[in-house]
Structure 1
Amino acid sequence: MAITFHEEDLPSQDLFSDGPIAVDTEAMGLHPGRDRLCLVQLSDGSGNEHLVRFSPGSDYAAPNLKALLGDPDRLKLYHFARFDIAIMRHYLGIMAAPLYCTRTASRLVRTYTDRHGLKELVKELLGTDINKQQQTSDWGGPELSDAQRDYAASDVRYLHALKEKLDVRLQREGRMALAQSCFDFLPARAELDLAGWPETDIFAHS
């Protein structure tokens, strides 16, 4: 297993094998229009992770990263897709879809719990403990610590295996089609967030 660090862009799209690619982001906060995108993490499930860091004042050109994430034939795996695709849409100008969201899938099949965080999901489905200590650290500093890099990589390390486990449950409970409809809607949900409707249910009667 190796974690490879890149500044401002991937050197090539050829770093990844064919098939789904796991994606996560780190930012200065949870408001895509306010908080700066600092890091994009990627893994093809082979056991290697790639981290792309953006500096303050970055123009977010990143042609190789954008081509990879914008590929309509490559499935992107997220844990909380709504945030990740919104902040990448805002800063990178691309919609990183089609997608699969493990948190959304978890909510559809793990209805016996309200704990749908990545740590809980990896523990229950894969039997592995992951360290989330760096979750609220400063991702915009001049250097990322080894602990931050390890944490960031772990956010994409398990998504392929989680998808396999969650798909079994979605099929078992007859909710695969419903899950796919939710995944298909998430880009529109992200656009609504960016356009100013983050909490409003526009489908509600009042």
Structure 2
Amino acid sequence: MTVYFHEGDLPDDLDLGPSVAVDSETMGLRYHRDPLCVVQLSAGDGDAHVVRLRRPAYDCSNLKALMADRGVLKIFHFGRFDIAMMQLYLGVETGPVYCTKIASKLARTYTDRHGLKDVTRELAGVDLSKAQQSSDWGADVLTQAQLDYAASDVLYLHAVKDKLDMMLAREGRTELAKACFDFLPTRSRLDLEGWEEMDIFAHA
């Protein structure tokens, strides 16, 4: 495994292929208070690319183009949050997308454990460490421990997706999952517009 660190943006000549695992790190979990700091990506080849974004300019044209590229599938775990943060801070609508958390909830109905750590342990046989999850991602210098943590969140998503795809097909829920993934950028926009806590589809 190699973790490549990039300051500000992805390199001009980097090709991550037809599908890329994506995650982000922020200063917290509140959209308009806590800025987007880091985006990490993997092509599923055992390597990871960690981009520390330049704030507040977010002058990352290559990263923005990749997120908006309709020819590249972006694989997230709980993509609802990451997609919203990229809409807010990068000004792009990410797509097409796949969310392993949504897929897990549709396919792994025998459990209520759908966090990345639980899903990765069961489906990829890897026990992730979450020790750096709440560290300072806005720091001027990221530690090696932070870089390794960021990388671990994307390194196994392709393998997890492959297992979930088989389970979704087995349960006859592939098309349902795809419809949920297609709606996800809209769900993220609803969050940003103030409907984060409200189910607009509910009768009440």
**TM-score with structure 2 length normalisation?**
0.97
Q: Which amino acid aligns with 2:33?
A: R
Contact 1:29-1:35 within 8 A present in 2 as well: yes
Separation in 2 of the partners of 1:184 and 1:146? 35
Q: Distance between the aligned counterparts of 1:7 and 1:69, measured in 2?
A: 18
* Secondary structure of 1:24's aligned partner: strand
Q: Could you list the runs of 4 or more consecutive aligned residues of structure 1 that deviate by over 2 angstroms after TM superposition?
A: none
Q: 1:15: which partner in 2?
A: 14
Q: Distance in 2 between matches of 1:155 and 1:135?
A: 10
RMSD (Å), alpha carbons: 1.0
Residue 136 of structure 1 aligns to a residue whose secondary structure is coil
The 3-state SS of whatever aligns with 2:145 is helix
- Local SS of the residue matching 2:133: helix
Out of 51, 56, 59, the position equivalent to 1:58 is 56
Shift of 1:19: 1.2
**Structure 2 residue identity aligned to 1:28:** M
Q: Could you say which residue in structure 2 is the equivalent of 1:164? A: 162
What is the alpha-carbon distance in structure 1 between the residues aligned to residue 189 and residue 26 of structure 2? 18
Letter in 2 for 1:66: K
**Secondary structure of residue in 2 paired with 1:106:** helix
**How does 1:111-150 map onto structure 2 within 5 Å?**
111-150=109-148
Q: Which piece of structure 1 moves more, 3-12 or 190-199?
A: 3-12
- How far the C-alpha of 1:18 sits from its partner, in A, is 2.1
Q: What's the counterpart of residue 74 of structure 2?
A: 76
Amino acid at match of 1:22: A
TM-score normalised by the chain length of structure 1: 0.96
Which of residues 151, 154, 161 is equivalent to 2:152? 154
**Alpha-carbon separation, structure 2, partners of 1:141 and 1:156:** 21
1:93-104 mapped onto 2 (5 Å cutoff):
93-104=91-102
Report whether the alignment pairs 1:5 with 2:5: yes
User: Structure 1: which 5+ runs fail to align?
Assistant: none
Code of the aligned partner of 1:131 = S
The separation in 2 between residues aligned to 1:86 and 1:60, in whole angstroms, is 15
Instruction: Report deviation, 1:130.
Output: 1.2
- Give SS of 2:37's match: strand
Which moves more between the two structures, 122-131 or 146-155?
122-131
Asked if structure 2 preserves the Cα contact closer than 8 Å seen for 1:16 and 1:43, the reply is no
Instruction: Please tell me the residue identity of whatever aligns with 1:2.
Output: T
Determine the structure 1 residue equivalent to 2:26: 27
Shift of residue 128, structure 1, vs aligned partner: 1.3
Find the counterpart in structure 2 of residue 174 from structure 1. 172
Distance 1:77 1:155 in 2: 11
Deviations 1:126-162 (A, max 9, x none): 1111111111111111111111100000111001101
> By how many angstroms is 1:97 displaced?
0.8
Report the Cα offset of residue 109 of structure 1.
1.0
Paired residue type of 1:48: D
Indicate the residue corresponding to 1:87 in structure 2: 85
Query: What is aligned with 1:36?
Result: 35
